[in-house]
Structure 1
Amino acid sequence: MEFLGTSQTASYCGPKKSCLFPEPVPTSTMQDSYQTYYLPGYRYLNSWRPSLFYKVSSTIPSSDERGNVSLRPPTILPSLRTALYARYSPRDWNQANQVQFKGSECCRHWAGRLNADSLRLMQDKDQLTQQMQDDTGTNMGQRLSDIEFWRSELIYELQRLLTETRALDIAKKRLECAADETEGPLKVALECLYNREKRMGIDLVHDDVEKNLIKEVDMFKSCQERMRKLAERIDQQLGINRDAQHALERDLSDKSSAHFIDEKCYNLRNTSDSIKFYHGIEKIDGTVSVPQTWAKFSDDNIRNSQNARANSAKLCEEMENVLENTSEEMWKQYTDTNLAFDHRISEIGDIKNKLQAHLAKTLQEIFQIENTIMLLERSIMAKECPLKVAQTRLEGRTRRPNIELCCDIPQFKLINEVFTIGDTLQTLKQRLRDAQDTLQLLVLNKSRLEHDLSVKANSFFIDKKCMDMRKTFPSTPRLIGYT
């Protein structure tokens, strides 16, 4: 006989030897009495049957014997006389009985040993089965603890990753808002440059205002480019964070499913209703990992998530520095440009006031020179009559007769008077021409002053208009992305 799951250790379990009697052939009666039992899940074995049993023999009487039951048989039949020599002796009979007794004792001794060893074997196997089941339960409990540990680690890391991802998404939105906020000041600076191109003449200079406006435009564009590049890097990091989040969520989902299955298996007992046989299930190996690779998989996912969080934290810190630096730079440049505007407007105002003063003085001089010209003309006209008188007198004295035509003192005075009045007229006329030329210069200077004054007024108006446009500038919270 062979027991499942053990090796044959007892001597009686070896090949069975006959105990002086030949092994009888089993009959149908024994087959009906002992039904074959198959243990599910293992190879079919013939159930145990006793190898020694009694055979019941029966003698069928003949028809003559049935008819002559009441007749007394003869003492010795002639036909059986020869058979008397073939019968066993009492000694043989006794020896056969002794042999039968010893065989029975041997069989009973063997059966007793078999029963004792079977009980001991069943106890050992029951203890082994219970111990293996307890060890399996302990291992499954430890496995549940390991799964629960990794689940808690994954949940903790997933929560931190989600928090960091939200912070990174807010940082991206702040960068985009800050870049959008700089569009208004950039357009204002460009509009100021375009308006200042409308300056005229000498005022169309490359002054400090224009230099600061160009620098401001370049700075706004540079800050926008820095913020957009950082936003692109943050967008890429968000993709990495989403991949790490997906890996954590998938691993956490697998851990939850495995925890549910192992907890269900851990709670199974021998009295559970859901247990049944699954033939050949122990031969199926669908595992894809070992405990080392299983733990390493979750550890790698957590490490990837930690690296993603570290990179996200660096990007958030870099975003804060970039927004703070760009805000400070833009405010500083905005202030410098406004100071240059104020200085330039003050300069233009001073020049304009001076031009107006010079224009007023020029107008006053024009008025005075015009009066001088008028007086000179009147003085010249007033000298004509005395000249006429003197010349008439000289002309009249030329008609004196003979010796009376004398160059006397009156004659000499008259000649001197004519020459003096003539020189006076020449001097007055020259002064009149000089006065007229001076008047022309003053008029020309007046026109230049008026033109220059109009140019300065135009420049002053343009710069004032630019300053009015630059009155509004985004506040620091808006420049760093807060709305």
Structure 2
Amino acid sequence: MAQTEVLLTKQPAPQTIDPCELPPKVYDVACNTGAHTSSGLATAGFRTAKYLMDEWYQNSYARYHQAFSDRDFSERQRHESQQLAAETGALAQRTQQDSTMKVGERLEEMHCWKSNLQQEVEDLTSETDLLLAQKLRLERALDASALPFSIAIDNLQCRDRRQHPDLVRDYVEEELLKEAELIRYIQELLKRTIQQVLNQIRLNREQKEACEMGFSDKVESYNIDQTCSRYHNNSTDVQFHLHSTKFEESASTPESWAKYTQDMLLRAERERLGSVNLRSLIDSILRDTSEDLRLQADAVNRAFGRRCEELEDAQNKLKYHLQRTLREITDQEHQIAALKQAIKDKEAPLRVAQTRLYQRARRPNVELCRDRAQFRLLSEVEELNMSLTMLRDKLQDAEQALRNLEDSRMALEKDLAVKANSLFIDRQKCMAHRHRYPTVLQLAGYQ
């Protein structure tokens, strides 16, 4: 039978081995070179399922080596795990602290913008209230301008009831027309200004609403970030959110976020400054219009005073001339009576003279002589007729003069009535009505 060659490494005598150390020398696995593993027929039936001693030692040492390797690997893994756990713990702590700091910085930045928005909302609210007060002033001024306009129109209508020849387009009427035109212009200006104020109030409220919405969003975001800043590892209300790391498509960038808020503040500030400028313009308009109306009212009052003085002066002169005319009428009437009496007184001498001539014309024959008595009687009759003609002519002139005086008296009395009517209209109707003219404060919308 073939001999089985077994190659074994020579080993020293067995020694006590530390289980934590590898054996100093490892046996090689036995290699059989023949076709059979037995060395002879005597061992047939006992060798097939058994290991050799060297194989047993080799297997034991392999187990020791594997246990040592596993322990060494486990120890290294344990040290690496401890180191990794410490490093990741420190990293997580630093990252959490940095995230908390970043959230805190975001809170500070958001608080700044939130405060700016809140201040802008308060400023817009105050500015809108001030603009509403100016609008109320404009409405009061517009209402107050209705009375001067009605006074001016009433004055013009009253003066249209003047009688000729006082129905003239004098400087009082010109000043009243200027006043009416000025009031119409001021009313149109106030209406346009009120409309402009309404538009500005609408813009202020729109910007205020936008700032309030931005402020509300900032407050909600601030509360969320403030809640996030209070979270820690021992918080009980934290949990896993697997999809929370995904960015929303509609999310803004810090630049766009800051620009959006800044643009909102700029628009609000622009409208607020526009409102401030409009209030200043309203103050200027109300001041100028009230002063213009008051100056024009004073001009009208001065014109009325001057016209009334002229009417009084004309009335006094008319009264003076009427008195003189009445006195002259009386004197003329007396003169007419005297002329009539003079004419009547001339009739008797004329009858005497004519009777004498008539009787002497009956003298007979040569006695009918043209003596000096005859010539004197003729001249007497001629003188008397001439005197009567002159007296009658003078009587006609006197009567015509009396008629002229009567016409003049009637004209003077009528003119006096006209002047009295004009004075009554200007003084009692117009000037008394103008005492109700609003004050400068009322025209400026303060009352």
Percent same amino acid among aligned pairs?
Answer: 36
> In 2, Cα distance between the equivalents of 1:376 and 1:91?
199
> In 2, Cα distance between the equivalents of 1:86 and 1:429?
200
Specify the code of the residue in structure 1 equivalent to 2:194: A
Specify the code of the residue in structure 2 equivalent to 1:91: D
Indicate which of 236, 240, 244 corresponds to 1:277: 240
Please identify, of 427-436 and 274-283, the stretch whose mean Cα deviation from structure 2 is larger. 274-283
Q: Secondary structure at the match of 1:271?
A: coil
Tell me, yes or no, if structure 1 residue 476 matches structure 2 residue 446.
no
Specify the code of the residue in structure 1 equivalent to 2:50: R
User: Size of the alignment, in residue pairs?
Assistant: 406
Indicate which of 418, 426, 441 corresponds to 1:455: 418
Counterparts of residues 148-227 of structure 1 (less than 5 Å) = 148-227=111-190
Tell me, yes or no, if structure 1 residue 87 matches structure 2 residue 47.
no
Specify the code of the residue in structure 2 equivalent to 1:482: Y
Indicate which of 417, 420, 423 corresponds to 2:380: 417
Q: Secondary structure at the match of 1:83?
A: coil
Indicate which of 75, 83, 94 corresponds to 1:112: 75
| Superposed displacement of residue 286, structure 1 | 6.0
Indicate which of 307, 331, 340 corresponds to 1:377: 340
Specify the code of the residue in structure 2 equivalent to 1:375: A
Partner of 1:247 in structure 2?
210
Indicate which of 381, 399, 408 corresponds to 2:362: 399
Partner of 2:407 in structure 1?
444
| Superposed displacement of residue 82, structure 1 | 1.4
Residue by residue, what CA displacement relative to the aligned partner does 1:379-425 show, whole Å, maximum 9, x if unpaired? 11111111111111122222223332222222222122111111111
Specify the code of the residue in structure 2 equivalent to 1:358: H
> In 1, Cα distance between the equivalents of 2:333 and 2:424?
35
| Pair 1:265–1:373, CA change in 2 (3 A) | same
Q: Secondary structure at the match of 2:46?
A: helix
Please report the TM-score for the alignment, with normalisation by the length of structure 1. 0.81
Partner of 1:466 in structure 2?
430
> In 1, Cα distance between the equivalents of 2:246 and 2:441?
68
Counterparts of residues 220-369 of structure 1 (less than 5 Å) = 220-283=183-246, 285=248, 288-369=251-332
> In 1, Cα distance between the equivalents of 2:337 and 2:423?
39
Specify the code of the residue in structure 2 equivalent to 1:446: R
| Superposed displacement of residue 144, structure 1 | 1.0
Please identify, of 139-148 and 441-450, the stretch whose mean Cα deviation from structure 2 is larger. 441-450
Residue by residue, what CA displacement relative to the aligned partner does 1:47-81 show, whole Å, maximum 9, x if unpaired? xxxxxxxxxxxxxxxxxxxxxxxxxxxxxxx9x95
Structure 1 runs of 4+ aligned residues shifted over 4 Å read none
Specify the code of the residue in structure 1 equivalent to 2:237: S
> In 2, Cα distance between the equivalents of 1:430 and 1:85?
201
Partner of 2:390 in structure 1?
427
Residue by residue, what CA displacement relative to the aligned partner does 1:444-470 show, whole Å, maximum 9, x if unpaired? 222222222222221111111201111
Residue by residue, what CA displacement relative to the aligned partner does 1:207-233 show, whole Å, maximum 9, x if unpaired? 000000000000011111111111111
| Pair 1:430–1:85, CA change in 2 (3 A) | closer
> In 1, Cα distance between the equivalents of 2:133 and 2:205?
15
| Superposed displacement of residue 265, structure 1 | 1.3
Which consecutive unaligned segments of at least 5 residues does structure 2 have? 1-40
Q: Secondary structure at the match of 1:281?
A: coil
Please identify, of 167-176 and 273-282, the stretch whose mean Cα deviation from structure 2 is larger. 273-282
Which consecutive unaligned segments of at least 5 residues does structure 1 have? 1-77
The Cα RMSD (Å) is: 1.7
| Superposed displacement of residue 186, structure 1 | 0.7
| Pair 1:410–1:86, CA change in 2 (3 A) | closer
> In 2, Cα distance between the equivalents of 1:260 and 1:300?
23
Specify the code of the residue in structure 1 equivalent to 2:269: Q
> In 2, Cα distance between the equivalents of 1:460 and 1:247?
65
Specify the code of the residue in structure 2 equivalent to 1:463: D
| Superposed displacement of residue 84, structure 1 | 3.1
Specify the code of the residue in structure 1 equivalent to 2:430: C
> In 1, Cα distance between the equivalents of 2:169 and 2:371?
79
Q: Secondary structure at the match of 1:270?
A: coil
| Superposed displacement of residue 86, structure 1 | 4.6
Partner of 1:71 in structure 2?
none
> In 1, Cα distance between the equivalents of 2:347 and 2:183?
79
Please identify, of 141-150 and 390-399, the stretch whose mean Cα deviation from structure 2 is larger. 390-399
Partner of 1:102 in structure 2?
65
> In 1, Cα distance between the equivalents of 2:354 and 2:243?
162
Residue by residue, what CA displacement relative to the aligned partner does 1:119-169 show, whole Å, maximum 9, x if unpaired? 111111111111111111111111111111111111122221211111111
> In 2, Cα distance between the equivalents of 1:126 and 1:84?
60
Please identify, of 124-133 and 184-193, the stretch whose mean Cα deviation from structure 2 is larger. 124-133
> In 1, Cα distance between the equivalents of 2:88 and 2:423?
110
> In 1, Cα distance between the equivalents of 2:255 and 2:376?
144
Please identify, of 195-204 and 395-404, the stretch whose mean Cα deviation from structure 2 is larger. 395-404
| Superposed displacement of residue 108, structure 1 | 1.3
| Superposed displacement of residue 281, structure 1 | 2.6
> In 2, Cα distance between the equivalents of 1:306 and 1:285?
32
| Superposed displacement of residue 341, structure 1 | 0.6
Please report the TM-score for the alignment, with normalisation by the length of structure 2. 0.88
Residue by residue, what CA displacement relative to the aligned partner does 1:144-199 show, whole Å, maximum 9, x if unpaired? 11111111111122221211111111111111111111110110000000011111
| Superposed displacement of residue 100, structure 1 | 1.7
> In 2, Cα distance between the equivalents of 1:108 and 1:399?
208
